């Protein structure tokens, strides 16, 4: 399973690409970034539900 920071890194990469992408691709890249952020939030909630803090994820591997 990916770590929160990986999801957020992917979101940032999508937004970086969107800045220079043709207009026809910008919306799709922005939607992809939002999806990565939603996955990060879902992972954060999952960790909290398991009684772990999101910062522990890096320590756990």
Specify the pLDDT at position 18. Answer: 96
Radius of gyration of the chain from its Cα atoms, rounded to whole angstroms: 14
pLDDT tens, position by position, 5-43: 999 999 999 999 999 999 999 999 999 999 999 999 999
Is the pLDDT score of 60 beyond 60?
no
Q: Locate tokens 């999101």: which residue?
A: 54
Q: Where are the domains of the chain?
A: 4-60
User: Is residue 25 a contact partner of residue 47, using CB atoms and an 8 Å limit?
Assistant: no
CA torsion angle for 52, 38, 11, 27 (degrees, to 10)?
180
What is the spatial distance between Cα 21 and Cα 45, in angstroms, rounded to a whole number?
32
- Read off the pLDDT of each residue in 52-58 and give the average, rounded to a whole number: 76
Specify the pLDDT at position 1. Answer: 66
Give the containing element (helix H, strand E) for 6.
helix 4-20
What tokens appear for 53 in the block? Answer: 């803090």
């Amino acid at each position: 399973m990916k770590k929160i920071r990986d999801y957020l890194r992917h979101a940032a990469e999508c937004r970086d690409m969107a800045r220079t992408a043709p207009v026809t691709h910008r919306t799709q890249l922005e939607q992809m970034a939002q999806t990565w952020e939603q996955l990060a939030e879902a992972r954060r909630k999952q960790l909290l539900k398991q009684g772990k803090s999101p910062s522990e994820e890096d320590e756990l591997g």
